[in-house]
Every structure is written in C-alpha cells, then in structure tokens.
Amino acid sequence: MAKALFQEIDAARHPELPRAARSARLPKFLGLRDDPEPVLDALDIAIVGTGSVGRNVALNLARQHVGTLRLIDRGRFKPESLLTQPIGPDDIGQPKAANTAGLCKTISPCTRTFAFDGPVEELDRTELADCSLLVLATDNLAAEVEVGQRCLHLGIPLEQASVHGDTLVAQVRFFGNRTGEGACPACGFGAAEWAHLNRETTFSCEGQAAGRTMAKSLTAPTMSVSFLCSLAADLALMQIFRHVLKLGPAVEDSLVEYCGYTHRTVTAPLARNSECPCEHLVFETGPALRPLADCSPRELAAGFGETDPSFTVDDRAFVEKGMCRACGKMQPVQRFVEMGQPAGRCADCEGDVVGQPFYMHRNASAALLGDVLDRPLRESGAASPRSVVVRGAGRAVWFRER
C-alpha cells in the first residue's frame, strides 16, 4: 500500500472573521536581531500527537499566524479527554488531528493547515521534508523512534514535550539534528522501553503525553492533570520561539525540566548514547537530473565510487523470491514491491506471488540487485517512486521526486 499524504484544511469551511494582525501584540523581544514577521510567516511546523500537549502547542502557534501547520494523530477524542485536553463536549468522537486543524484554521485563516488522521509511520517521508521544525507530543514508543529517525535523517530540528503526572514534572527536549553526532529520542530508552517497543506496546494518551521511563505496566493509563500538560506545551513554545528568533543561548541539544513539587527548573545538555541502535546519519540531498522512475540504481549511486552501496525505494522492499499463494511454488521476482502487495503472478498458475521474509530487503545492496542495478526503476516495480535513499561508506544521499 502506498504511503499516505496530508489533507489540507479548506479555508472555505472556516470563514474568516475580523481579527487583529500579529503585530498588534507581538513584543519587541530583548536581544531580537531580526524582524520576526518574515520568520514566523516562513515557519512550517509539524506536530505529532494533538492531545493534551500537542493541541495546546498547535492552537498557540495558530495564534501567532505561523506560515504552515501539519498535524498528525491517529486517535479520537474520548470522554476522558475532557479532563486534560482543551476541548468541549461537542468534540468527543472527533479525530484529533482534523479537529485541531479545523480550529487552528478558524483562528488563523492565513496559516496553511494540514491534517493526517493516522499513524505517523504511514505518512510518506516527503510530506515532512520541508518542515522547519517538528514537535513530538505522543506517548507511543514506536512513533518516538520513527519520528526521531525521520527528523535526524532529514536534518529537521525536533522538540519532544512530555509530562509525568505523579511527580508534577514537565519536560522538553530539543534535538538539533545538525549532524548524526547528536542525541535522538531513542538515546534515552532503557531496557524497559525497548522491551515495550518490541512487544508493540501503545500507552493510553487519555491521561498525558507520557514520560518514557514512567510507565507502570502494559495496560495502566498514564495519568496527569490538565495544567501540567498545558505547562509542558508552554515550555515547548518558549523553546520554539527562542530557537527560531535566536533569543538567548541556543536551545539545540538541550533538556529543560520543571518540577511542581520544588518549583525548580533544571536545564542540561543532551548527548548521544553510543549504544543507541538507531541510525545516526543525516542524509545529503541529491537532485536527480530526470524523473526517478527513469533512473537506474547504478546511475543514482554514481557518486559512491567503488563502494557497494545499498538502496531504499519509498516504502518498498526488494523481493528476490516469492511463493505462489495458489500452488505453493517458489518463483523468482527481482523487483521492488510495495509492502503488503503481491510481488507478481505465478508463471505456472497465474496466482498471486507473495514475497518471503528471508528474500525481502528494505535496504538492498548493489550486489543483491544483480541485473536490476542497470534497469530504470520503472522497469523494476517502482513505476512512480517519490524518493530513493542510497547508502554507502558512512553516508547517505536522498533523491526526492519533485
């Protein structure tokens, strides 16, 4: 199945009302070096998780009339959402991302606003490529890893906001992602987090955007109060403004944490965990001279010299062999195949051929491709690829269809 795309919120459904210009309340920040108006106009911010924390972030960014908002959430508002999230009874049952995007568009019709009501893992990589910054406000461990990898690969600054209700702690981590040497969200995972991730655990988001190390069991909901969630959102917004307007010391690769019990705020640097299993690599951008479908893998790897590069084409896997669903015979495939789709037809009975795990490769080496290395991608299963990543010799180049 092809990766999903954002839905743009139609301004016609959100009629413009008389409203003040941003400049009517925008302060002259101490130490401000640049005109903030064009900076805020150009901001393109994505928010993953639009519940207790993320919805507050989105609504406040809309009040600043930022250029673009992209909201992502798989969930819907429930009765319990009223306890911690800035919604009304009429919002119960509505998809979180689209509902929040609609309200943002009402607040700021000049803001291009997009919504995706599904898991961030299903969103096409190219849909986030132009973001200025991404805010992570979810309690899903798999989403944390996925977002961390996407932002690191694309060199997009990432801010993660979370709370721990039992200790009245609000925390914001800001990952600069200038190079692969910095930290990522998974660098803070311990054995418990990796165990939960390996079991595909998803924590309830009806209480809080959970702190990663605070989960008590696989099923217990994470607990918080609304004002702690809004405080985490406010801290996140403070760091966003400091970053984009260059106010005060740099916030990249840092943590800020507030504890309500002590009224103490702690700041600390973030460092990469040398044992983190995630790929710490920022992709270079390689413009293709013609449509990707017309390019061969060898052509795209021209800058890698004598190394044996590998290739990732969209969300496809390179399938060497597959088994016919009807007759059970193994068949050669040698094609890039969309995940979950048949790999071809059986030469004997015309049944669907299904790729076999041992012969499926999300990242296929040049040696593995064989003759496919010199064929245009359109002749090898990728009729209209949106992106190709070529890896080798400690670097990666991302080719994106424009």
Reported as a single tens digit per residue, the pLDDT across 149-185 is 999 999 999 999 999 999 999 999 999 999 999 999 9
Give backbone dihedrals phi and psi of 365, rounded to 5 degrees, phi first. -75, 160
Residue range 97-121, pLDDT digits in tens: 999 999 999 999 999 999 999 999 9
**Strands across the sheet with 284-285, in order?**
284-285, 395-400, 387-392, 310-313, 364-365
pLDDT score recorded for residue 306: 76
pLDDT of 348-359, one tens digit each? 999 999 999 999
- Which H helix or E strand runs over 267? strand 264-269
- Mean pLDDT rounded to a whole number for the chain: 90
4 — pLDDT class (breaks 50, 70, 90): confident
Write out pLDDT tens, residues 27-86: 999 999 889 999 999 999 999 999 999 999 999 999 999 999 999 999 999 999 999 999
Q: Answer with the residue of higher pLDDT: 351 or 215.
A: 351
Q: Look at residue 368 and give its three-state secondary structure.
A: helix
| pLDDT at residue number 208 | 31
Q: What is the pLDDT of residue 249?
A: 95
Smallest CA-to-CA distance from 163 within 205, 208, 204, 222 is with 208
- Tell which residue, 266, 261, 263, 279, has the closest CA to residue 186: 279
Residue 385 has pLDDT above 80, yes or no: yes
The reported pLDDT for the residue numbered 191 is: 77
Q: Residue 336's CB: how many other CB atoms inside 10 A? A: 26
Domains and CATH numbers, the chain: 7-269 (3.40.50.720), 284-400 (no CATH)
Confidence of residue 212 (pLDDT cuts 50, 70, 90): very low
Which one is predicted more confidently, 191 or 104? 104
Beta strands 344-345; 284-285: pairing state:
unpaired
Largest CA distance in the chain: 75
